[in-house]
Structure 1
Amino acid sequence: MAETFDLALARRKATDPGHRVGVLLVNPGGPGDSGVDFAVRRAPSHFSAEVRERFDIVGFDPRGVGGSQPVTCSAELLDKAPSAYPRDQAEFVQLAEYNRVLRQDCRRRSGPVFDHADTLSVVRDMDAIRRSLGESRINYFGHSYGTLIGEQYAERYGDRIRTMALTANIDHSLGAREFLVSSAATAEDSFHQFVKWCASTGSCALHGRDVTAVWDDLLARADRGEIHDPARPAQVLGANAIVLKAFRTYFYRPDWEGLATYVAGLDAQEREPREQETKELPRTRQPRPRIPQGAEERTRAEPFYAVFCQDWRFRPRNYREYAGLTEAELRAAPHLRGSPRVHAAVAGCVGWPDTVNNPQHRLRITEAPKILMLHSRHDPANNYAWVANVHRQTRRTTVLLPYEGAGHSVYGRTDCTRDAVDHYLIERKLPSAGSRCPPAAKN
C-alpha cells in the first residue's frame, strides 16, 4: 500500500447560503504559501463581499507545505548555504555538493512526500479535495505559482471546472535561460517604473536627484560593507539584501513612496573614510557540509526546493554553463543585478538528479471552459511575456485581461480588476475581447 499523509484544509462558508454558487478553491502562490492561512486569515480582506457571499472559500496546504506533512530540513544546514554566485568551477562543485547534502537531509526528515511535492501531484490532490467535498465541478482562484496549479488542473481535469481565474501567471514552457533572463528583465522594468514615478512626483523622497545613480552608488557602498540594517544597526546590509527588500516589500504592491524613503534613509548613512572604498570584503568559503546528527537539532520548514526542483529541469552542469546564465541575467538587469530570488531558485537545483516529476512543456487544455487570466504589464516577478505565451498556447480556452499598471498583486488593484474577476466567478461573464484595465491612479 502506498504511503499517505494528512492534507490540511480550511473552508470559509458562504455568508449568503441562499445564493451560494459553490466552492472556490484558492492558492496564493509560493511555492510554499499556505492556502489554509489564506482562507482563514487573508480571504476576508482579499475577496470582495460579493465573492464571500456566494462561495465557500476553500484553502488547502499543498503537500509538503504548512499542515500537509511539511518538508523540513536541518536549520543548521540551511544556515550554511554557500553563495549562489560561485566564482569558479571549484565553488560551483561546492554549491552542487551542498545541495546534494541538503536534499539528503530534507528527504530523511520529511519522508516520501519530499520526492512527490511537485505541482502535478498537487493537482491530483486538488481533484481529491473536489471529490471529498461532493462537488461535480469547482471554481478556482490561483495567484502567481498558484496559477501553475490551475493551469495543470485545467490540462488534466478541465471538464471538472466551472470557473477559473488566474492572476500573475506562470509559463511552464520556459528553459533555464529564458526563465532567468525574463525574470531579470521584468524586475529591471519595475526599477525603471520607480525611477519614472520619482522623477514626476514631488513627494518622492529622492525627487530632483538622479535616482539611478543614487541606487547604483548605494549598492556599491553595500558591496564594501558600508551600509547597515536600520532595524539592526550592528548588522551590515549587503547589496543582495537591499535588492531583495526592494523587490519583495516595495515592487510587489507596489509602494514607490516606501521604496524612495527606504533608499533615501540608507543613502543618508554616514560614509566610511575614502581609503576604505577600495577594499574588497573577503568572501568566506563555507566548509564542506556535513549532515548534522543528534535528537536536539533544530529544524525548519523549507518546501520551496522540493517543489521547484521537481517542476523545472534547471540543472546547469558546470561553472561555464552557470556563469553564462548569470551573465545573461545580469545584462538583462544591470541595476537590479539580475533577479536574486529567481537566481537563488535555480542555484538551489544545482546538483539535483536530472529526472523531474513535472518537466516543462507547452500547456495543452482541451476540455475546460473559458479561463480568465489577469496579469500586470509591469509585474516585477512574472514577466508579462509569460502570460502572453500561455495565452497563445491556449487561445481557445483562455481570455487575457491585461492590467496596465505595476505590481505583482492584480485582483484588488482597481475596481476594474476586481469587478472583472467577480463577474466572471459569480455570473461566468467574461470581459470583451481586447479589454484592459487602466493603471491605478496611485501606486
Structure 2
Amino acid sequence: MPFSGRSAVRRITARSTTTAVGAAMAVVTGLAAAPAVQASPSATGALRWAPCDDPVKPEAECAALSVPVDWSHPDGPRLDLAVARRKATDPGARVGSMVFGPGGPGDSGVEMVVRRISRFSPEVRRRFDIVGFDPRGVGGSNPVSCSGDLLAGRPSPELDSQADFDATMAYNRRLRADCRARTGPVFDHLDTAQTVRDLDALRAALGERRLTFHGSSYGTLLGAQYAETYPRRVRAIVLESVMDHSVPTTRDFLRSEAATAEDSFQEFVKWCDGAADCALRDRDVRAVWQRLLARAARGELEDPAEPGARLSSSDLVNKIAFRKFYEADYAGLATAIAGLDASRPLPASSTSTAPLHPATPVFCSDWHLPVRDYQEYASLVTMMNRTAPDLPYLLPIHMTAACLGAPAANPQHRLAVHGAPPILVSNALHDPATGYPWAVSVARQLGRSGVLLTYEGQGHGSVTSGPCMEDAVDSYLTDLEVPPRGTSCPAVPS
C-alpha cells in the first residue's frame, strides 16, 4: 500500500528493551535500515557535507540539517535531519539539486541516495545533485523508539469482540505513551505538515531559490502539501504513485485500498491465463490461492523465508502477494504460489498476525481514521473482504487498527494550490497500493497546475517504466517541458 516504496512486511526482532520504530518502519516498506551517517554538526540552515559512513558507496556525501521540533515554536527544541546527496555526474550540464521524498511512511531518503541511486534515470543523475533525507522520526532523524517487548505484544487486527476492540484501544494508548517517553518531544510533531517546513528549510540550505522535488508513494503527500503551502517556491514537482489525502472517511479509505489491491490480483490472474512462463498455467489460479489461504489460516503453511515459521493468511497476502504486485513480478508470484502449494503441510496450529509491523506514528499523525466500536470495525473488515475477496486482512486494516484512538495533527483535506507551476502526476493504471483513481483525483485538486501522466501497466512506481515514461519525466525535470494533457505511455514487459 502507500506505506510503501517496496511493501515487504517482515517480522520485527526487538533489540533488548527498545527498538527504533523509525528504522523498523522500513520493515513495512521492505527497505533496509538507512546507512549510518557520519556528518559534521551543522549550524541552523547550513549543510556541511562529509563522506557518508558507507564503505560500499563512498561517492555519497552526508550532512545534518538542524530544524525546530515544532515549527510553530521555531525557537524551541531542535532536531537534526539526516541528509545525503550524490552530485550531478555531468557538472557542466547541472541544473541544480533535486530532493527525493521517500515513501512508507518510514522509508529512508538517505538510504535511497546512498545505496539505491539506480532508482533514478541516468539523465536525472547526470543533470541534478540528487538529495535525500530521512523524515523526522525516521532513520537518522531522531527515530521513534519504543519498547521492544511492548511492540512484540501487539494485538492481532483480527478482532472478534468488543473486548478485543477495547483491548486494542488500551494497548495503543500504552504504546503511544511509551514511544513518546522514549523518543522525546518530536513524537508529537511527526506529521507531514511539519515535514513540509523541513523540506523548505532543506531547499534554502541547498541554495535553491525554487524546489525541484520527486516524491514517491507516501512522499507524494509531502510534495502536494509543499505545493499547497509554498506554491511560489516550486520549480518542478513529480508525484509518483499518488496518495489522495482528500479521502474523507475510514470506509472510503479502506474500500479504495481494497479495490486497487484486488485489481492487481485480477491482473495477475489474467496474465497467468495467457503467459507461457506462468508456473500455474492451465490451473485454476484462484482455487489454488484460496487453498493456500485456508492452509495458512489453519497454521499449516511454512514461511519459505523462515524455515519452521508458520505463514499466516495475512502474511501470505502482505508478504508474498503484495510484495510481488509492487514489482509487477507476476512470474515470481506464480512460482512462489506453486511452490507453496506443493509444500508439505505443517501440523495444524494457530497463527498470529500480531507482529507484522510496528506502530506507524507518521501515518497516524496524517490520517484521521476513526472507528466507533467493534461492530463498525467488523463491518469494515467485511466490506474489505467483499471488495477484495482474494486478499483478506490487507495491510490498511492493520494500519487502521494501529491508529485507533491516535490524534491526527494533519488530517485529510482537499488540496488548495494557487499559483504553482505545472506539477507532474504519474501513476500506473494497475497500482496495487495507490490506485489510479487517486492520481486522477489529485490531478484535479491541483487544478491548472495538475498534469496527469498515465502508465498503462502494473506496479507501484512508474517514472522509469520504459522510454516513454522516462523521457517525459526527464524532459519535465530538466527543461520544464510538460507533456500534453492526457499523455499515456504503453506498458513494458516486466
- TM-score under structure 2 normalisation? 0.82
Q: Which residue of 1 aligns with 2:325?
A: 251
1:322 to 364, 370, 377: 377
Check conservation: 1:11, 1:39, Cα contact below 8 A.
Answer: yes
C-alpha displacement of 1:282: 5.1
Contact 2:321 2:333 in 1 (8 A): no
Tell me if 1:306 matches 2:361: yes
Q: Which residue of 2 aligns with 1:270?
A: 344
Residue of 191, 205, 209 corresponding to 1:136? 209
Paired position in structure 2 for 1:2: 76
4+ residue segments displaced more than 3 Å: 281-286
Alpha-carbon distance in structure 1 between the residues aligned to 2:178 and 2:469: 44
Matched with 2:36 is none
Pick from 446, 455, 459: which aligns with 1:407? 459
Change (3 A) 1:284 1:181: closer
Indicate conservation of the 8 Å contact 1:73/1:106, yes or no.
Answer: yes
Structure 1 residue 351 displacement after superposition: 2.4
- Structure 1 residue 12, shift from structure 2 partner: 1.1
Equivalent of 1:204 in 271, 278, 292:
278
Residue of structure 2 equivalent to 1:370: 422
Alpha carbons of structure 1 residues 166 and 284: separation in structure 2 relative to 1, 3 Å: closer
Within 2, Cα distance between the matches of 1:169 and 1:105?
Answer: 32
3-state SS in 2 of match to 1:24? strand
Q: Is 1:171 aligned with 2:216?
A: no
Distance 1:231 1:360, change over 3 A: closer
C-alpha separation in 2, matches of 1:405 and 1:283: 35
Partner Cα separation in structure 1 for residue 140 and residue 421 of structure 2: 32
| Contact 1:27 1:34 (C-alpha < 8 Å) held by counterparts | no
Partner of 1:345, secondary structure, is: helix
1:392 corresponds to which letter in structure 2? R
Give the 5 Å matches for 1:187-202: 187-202=261-276
1:345 alignment partner in structure 2: 399
- For 1:7-86, what aligned pairs fall within 5 Å after superposition? 7-43=81-117, 45-86=118-159
Tell whether the 8 Å contact from 1:187 to 1:247 is kept in structure 2 after alignment. Answer: no
TM-score norm. by structure 1 comes to: 0.91
Deviations 1:128-187 (A, max 9, x none): 111112211120000000000000000001111111111100100112111101101111
Q: Which structure would you say has the larger RCO, counting Cα contacts within 8 Å and 6 or more residues apart?
A: 1
Please provide the CA RMSD for this pair. 1.7
Once residues 247 and 183 of structure 1 are traced to their aligned partners in structure 2, the CA distance between those partners, rounded to angstroms, is 15
Given that 1:247 and 1:380 are in contact with CA atoms closer than 8 Å, whether structure 2 keeps it comes out as no
Instruction: Indicate which of 226, 230, 236 corresponds to 2:310.
Output: 236
Aligned residue pair count: 417
How big is each residue's C-alpha offset from its partner over 1:113-135, in whole Å with a ceiling of 9 and x where there is no partner?
11000001000000011111221
Going from structure 1 to structure 2, the CA distance change for 1:367 and 1:247 (only over 3 Å counts) comes to: farther
Q: 2:471 matched to 1:416?
A: no
Q: Alignment partner of 2:368: what SS?
A: coil
Local SS of the residue matching 1:229? coil
- 1:7 aligns to what SS in structure 2? strand
- CA distance in 2 between counterparts of 1:284 and 1:150 reads 37
What SS does structure 2 have at the residue aligned with 1:164?
strand
1:387 corresponds to which letter in structure 2? A
- 2:447 maps to what in 1? 395
Counterpart in 1 of 2:64? none
Change (3 A) 1:369 1:213: same
Do the aligned residues in 2 keep the contact of 1:22 with 1:138 (CA within 8 Å)?
Answer: no
> How many angstroms does 1:321 deviate by?
1.6
Corresponding residue SS for 1:59: strand
Long gaps (5+) in structure 2: 1-74
Seq. identity, %: 52
- DSSP 3-state at the match of 1:32: coil
**DSSP-derived class of the 1:419 partner:** helix
Q: Is the 8 A contact 2:301 2:346 kept in 1?
A: no
1:293 aligns with none
Measure the CA separation in 1 of the matches of 2:418 and 2:487.
24
| SS across alignment from 2:375 | helix
Structure 2: distance between partners of 1:62 and 1:282: 38
- Is 1:88 paired with 2:155? no
> In structure 2, the residue corresponding to 1:6 is in which secondary structure?
strand
